[in-house]
Structure formats: C-alpha cells, structure tokens
A = this chain, B = another copy of it.
Amino acid sequence: MSKAIEAFVFDAYGTLFDVNSVVRKAEALFEGKGPALSETWRLKQLEYSWLRTLMGRYEDFASVTSDALDWSLESLGLQADAHTLRSLLDEYRRLAPFPEVPPSLAELSGSLELAILSNGHPDMLRAVVEHNDLARYFRGGLLSVHAVRGYKPDPRVYRLAEERLGRDRRRVGFVSSNGWDAAGAKAFGFRTYWVNRTGAPVERLGVRPDETVADLTELTRLVA
C-alpha cells in the first residue's frame, strides 16, 4: 500500500525536533526542577491548544506556549524574570533534530514531496527549520495551523495540508510521534505513521495508525 504514497507530511515538535534541549535549559535555570518543569510545560501547552480550540478562542502557539510556561512555573513555585522567560521560550526556535532526521529527510525527499504541518506559529516553525538548515527538504512547504486558527486534531488542520499539497488524502503519509496527532490524521483519512520513540501504549481513540515505527530510519526503510 505504501507504493501509493506521493507525499509525506511531518509533525514538527517531538517528531522531527527533540524537545529535550528544553529540559536541559530548564535544569540549568532551575536546578533539580528541569524535568518536572519541562514535562508540566509540554502537557499544559497541549492542553491549552485543545481547550482554546474547543472554546473557539484561538491564540497563536507562541502565546499558548508562554501561557503554559507561566502556569507551570507558578504550579511548581518557581519565579522567573523576563530574561529567563525569554530564554526558555527561545529554546523552541533552536531545538535540535533527532540524529536520524536529516539523513532520513535527505533520502525521502529524493522521490517524495515532503512538508511540515505544525501547531507552531509560522515564525517559530521557520526559525527552527532554518536554524537546522532543513528548509530545502520541504518542497511541500512549512504549514502552520495558524492559517485555520485552530489546533490539531481539529480536522480543519489536516484538511489544510491536503489542500495545500493538492493531493488526495489517501496518497498522503502523515508522520507524528504524538499518538493523538496520528489518531487525528488517521480519522481525517491520511495514511498514518506513528513514530513511537518511547514505547508508549497506543492511544485509545477509536482509530489506529496504519504503521508504527521506532524512528525515521525505520520509516525510510518501510517506504523504500
């Protein structure tokens, strides 16, 4: 079936880019609290993206990320001045890719159109892609949910990718390490590849990813 795939659409945070550098920065600033802060922050960031979409009160991902950091710091009893806040938020513009990502993108982009579909504000997304010199692999573009003013897994987001690529959704492979994002993409109708880097249980959301891979190397082998 994978023979029919014409393009791959990738999630960004956690799928291409390793959010672990946020943990390190948080630990450097708040010794002993780095893992707790970054985990709480990430969970709250997703929660707020879902809640704001449900409430019909979209704000861009930079704002949501900042709001989530603010809540997380207070919940852990931590205080941060404007400079510290900025340095934590800026980490999202400098995340490193997982090691296998650049060679996998190089290989896949030879025969397939690649794109990113991310919750990130267009500025955040462009910054992290250019910081890592990966823009040339994404002929399909860097697509942000900002265009539809709602977050994943709202079907309007996945439809945006289908429309921008101009391809039948059944010919598009959607790649995400977030199980709920893979579920949303599968419910929409993309062929989905769940990158399960941590051995997490599959999400019980009524749909299953078409394929589960451990990383992008395995994805590349699967479609070769």
Main secondary structure of the interface of A (DSSP, over half): helix
Contacts of A56 in B (CB 8 A): 155, 187
User: A53 contacts the other chain (Cβ, under 8 Å)?
Assistant: yes
Query: Given A48-B205, A50-B50, A205-B48, do A55 and B200 touch, yes or no (CB 8 Å)?
Result: no
Evaluate contact between A68 and B184: CB separation under 8 angstroms: no
In the assembled complex, the CB of A33 is this many whole angstroms from the nearest CB of chain B, namely: 15
User: In the complex, which range does the number of interface residues on chain A fall in?
Assistant: 20 to 34
Closest to A180 in B: B51
Bound form: Cα–Cα A205–B54 in Å = 12
In the assembled complex, the CB of A80 is this many whole angstroms from the nearest CB of chain B, namely: 14
Query: Given A51-B50, A201-B71, do A57 and B180 touch, yes or no (CB 8 Å)?
Result: no
Bound form: Cα–Cα A154–B50 in Å = 11
